[in-house]
Structure 1
Amino acid sequence: MGEWVRAVRGGVTAISVLDLVPVRSDQTTADAVAATLALARVADEVGARRYWLAEHHNMPAVAATNPPLLMALVAAATSRVRVGSGGVMLPNHSPLVIAEQVALLEAAYPGRVDVGIGRAPGSDPVTSHLLRRGTTGDAVDTFDDDVATLAALVGRDGVDVRVGSSTFALRATPRAVSAPQLWLLGSSTYSAQLAGRLGLPYVFAHHFAGRGTSEAVALYRRTFVPSEALAEPRTIAVANVAVAGSEAEARRLVLPQVRTMWRLRSGTPLEPQELVEDAEASPLPAAAGELLAGMTASWIVGDPAHAAAEVRDLAARLGTDEIMVQPVAGAVRGTPADRSPAREATLRLLADALA
């Protein structure tokens, strides 16, 4: 179909995809990964620009624990779409390890690799402690330096490290001919300013922040300093999206995701994502209404025409270069365990409506 790019008020906006590799109550981890690869092939087919994988740990409803490994699987299953992390939570990892992983991916799939970097832990405190091998201190404190180190390491020339009186050449891979593209992710003014100061492209997590998107994007543009990597500001906003034949059906299909978010925000124990019928059979408490209304206000849920209009409006309001869609439609009973038809339909219906 060619790249999924549409005119928005005289500009050009691309559509990309974010995937957390959700695990439903009727799925194994293997099923969830198979469903992700099927969804990635749909994204490739309809012309999405990017397909990014998140990093979350120790969550019953999320199998996206290792973005570079998932990126390799998705890149092998597709032919054109860029693959990336959305994102690697850098405080959990050594910058050198991540640089080595994505440099190999770039060598295998040149010009198709993105590295979205996040500052949040993406896990509970115990898991974070184990990921960091029990090191003391807050790894977030070194985030600025770690981002700069990673940016240098993934470059073709690597970095020179002073050890005593000697200089030690350090490269993520021996003979790189291209480098993956680094992006900074965030949901705050801190990340916006850091991306601007480092001259990196910026992704705002509109899908879970909901508020402050315009302010953060404007701050990023005001503080942007051109770099070797990027001459002008470049932005993506992420939105939760579910598209179906009717608005009523789309709202029905998001019930499992809404219930997962409720559990996450209310401290209720997390479970694999429910099927739609199970979510319908067990309504949330009345007290959840106000929290859910605020939580889902920024979601794009509806029929194709409504969803396309909302995507165009969001892109125009923010003046963003891309909208990254997280398909949040759930599954009904009887759905093949290795597929996510409602998520696939969201991408197909939205692509057709934007054409």
Structure 2
Amino acid sequence: MTSPTLSVLDLVPVRTDQTTSDAVRASLDLARVADEVGAARYWVAEHHNMPAVAATNPPVLIGLLAAATSRIRVGSGGVMLPNHAPLVVAEQFSLLEAAFPGRIDLGIGRAPGTDPVTSYALRHGAGGVGDDAVSRFPEYVDNVAAMMAPEGVGVSVQGRTQSLRATPVAASVPTLWLLGSSDYSARLAAERGLPYVFAHHFSGQGTAEALALYREGFRPSEVLDAPRTFLTVNAAVAPTTEEAQRLALPHLQMMLALRTGQPLSAQRLVEEAEEVGIPEQQQPLVEAMSRRWVIGDPETARARIAELAAEHGVDEVMVHPVASAYAGTDPATSPAREQTLRLLAS
């Protein structure tokens, strides 16, 4: 089986032994490893008000990550567009593209990326339009794309039309991707002729159906003449499967809390997670989740990623390194996440 191209998704996890500063420094090092081992792209997600996730502002992180690397494409996986004014997103990513030409991806989603209260604060705190932004998602996608283009877009206000551009003299534009965990964005991406990614790492179900909808409904556009997609997957890789399972346990516990409505906390260290364990009644749910992840020794993990790529008909797999750390690890580092990338790429 052909080995697919590897990419990286990072939520900038925050462990119990880390400050936000530590977590960001660890992610910068992880991005350098991804650049070094030949990964195609490095994306950061947008999440808000979560104790275990520091990826609250993709454009800021992308600027830091692009400056810390030399070759790899850097982007968002994704920006939750209803949280923001389209012009702001267009300006942010056009400026990033101007600073790092040919290296910026703009992945866009329509989920809030947070709890309902925080979502309300994001969308209304600065006079936003709230739920109306969700219903206008297709329009906002079109607006962002048009504003980033060199010719800009004509905007009419009170009978007067004015040209609006994200940057004054754009020489190139970021690659625009639509992201989703349901069939909504699959259909929209197909209709608009845009690249599309299904959140397999989060959902784990419905991937094949969403990709089939996208491929079957795809309409060629000026941006893309054929469907373009890849697969995302959670991964923890170590010299032995037993060690990989230990390193993955803290993230499994965090996802269990998310799925069952429990309070979220910073990601546990391995020893802390082992002390807590998994309640017997929730063991089947954890086992079902872990079967959809890539957890194991290098040979097993590489084979599983190749199988997933072949199963879903993709030639690129975006790995979300979920390995935590042992007690005593330097808080500003994430050696087990780096190990996952190095072992998969070797």
Give how far 1:289 is off. 1.1
Q: Tell me whether 1:56 sits opposite 2:50 in the alignment.
A: no
Say which SS state the counterpart of residue 335 (structure 1) adopts. Answer: coil
- Structure 2: gaps (5+ residues): none
1:76-87 alignment to 2 at 5 Å?
A: 76-87=67-78
Q: Tell me whether 1:141 sits opposite 2:98 in the alignment.
A: no
Residue number in structure 2 paired with 1:173 = 167
Residue number in structure 2 paired with 1:4 = none
Give how far 1:303 is off. 0.4
| Alignment match of 1:339 (pick from 326, 333, 337) | 333
Say which SS state the counterpart of residue 287 (structure 1) adopts. Answer: helix
Give how far 1:171 is off. 0.1
Q: Tell me whether 1:124 sits opposite 2:115 in the alignment.
A: yes
Deviations 1:25-49 (A, max 9, x none): 0000000000000000000000000
1:38-117 alignment to 2 at 5 Å?
A: 38-117=29-108
Quote the Cα distance in structure 2 between the aligned partners of 1:146 and 1:207.
26
Q: State whether residues 236 and 321 of structure 1, in contact with CA within 8 Å, keep that contact through their aligned partners in structure 2.
A: yes
1:1-355 alignment to 2 at 5 Å?
A: 8=2, 13-133=4-124, 135-352=129-346
Give how far 1:119 is off. 1.0
TM-score if structure 2 supplies the norm length?
A: 0.97
Gap change, CA 1:204 and 1:60, over 3 Å in 2: same
Quote the Cα distance in structure 2 between the aligned partners of 1:205 and 1:162.
36
Q: State whether residues 207 and 240 of structure 1, in contact with CA within 8 Å, keep that contact through their aligned partners in structure 2.
A: yes
Residue type of the partner of 2:101?
P
Quote the Cα distance in structure 2 between the aligned partners of 1:321 and 1:147.
26
Give how far 1:191 is off. 1.2
Quote the Cα distance in structure 2 between the aligned partners of 1:181 and 1:336.
36
Q: State whether residues 124 and 130 of structure 2, in contact with CA within 8 Å, keep that contact through their aligned partners in structure 1.
A: no
Say which SS state the counterpart of residue 175 (structure 1) adopts. Answer: coil
Q: State whether residues 244 and 345 of structure 1, in contact with CA within 8 Å, keep that contact through their aligned partners in structure 2.
A: yes
Give how far 1:237 is off. 1.0
Q: State whether residues 160 and 170 of structure 1, in contact with CA within 8 Å, keep that contact through their aligned partners in structure 2.
A: yes
Say which SS state the counterpart of residue 121 (structure 2) adopts. Answer: helix
Quote the Cα distance in structure 2 between the aligned partners of 1:329 and 1:307.
13
Quote the Cα distance in structure 1 between the aligned partners of 2:279 and 2:267.
18
Gap change, CA 1:259 and 1:108, over 3 Å in 2: same
Residue type of the partner of 2:79?
V
Residue type of the partner of 1:44?
D
Say which SS state the counterpart of residue 184 (structure 1) adopts. Answer: strand
TM-score if structure 1 supplies the norm length?
A: 0.94
Quote the Cα distance in structure 2 between the aligned partners of 1:237 and 1:136.
31
Deviations 1:142-200 (A, max 9, x none): 11111111111111211111234432100000001000000000111111111100110
Quote the Cα distance in structure 2 between the aligned partners of 1:132 and 1:46.
39
Q: State whether residues 153 and 170 of structure 1, in contact with CA within 8 Å, keep that contact through their aligned partners in structure 2.
A: yes
Give how far 1:307 is off. 0.5
- Structure 1: gaps (5+ residues): 1-6
Give how far 1:127 is off. 0.6
Residue type of the partner of 1:317?
E
Quote the Cα distance in structure 2 between the aligned partners of 1:289 and 1:154.
48
Gap change, CA 1:145 and 1:124, over 3 Å in 2: same
Q: Which moved more, 1:149-158 or 1:110-119?
A: 149-158
- RMSD over aligned Cα atoms: 1.2
Number of equivalent positions? 343
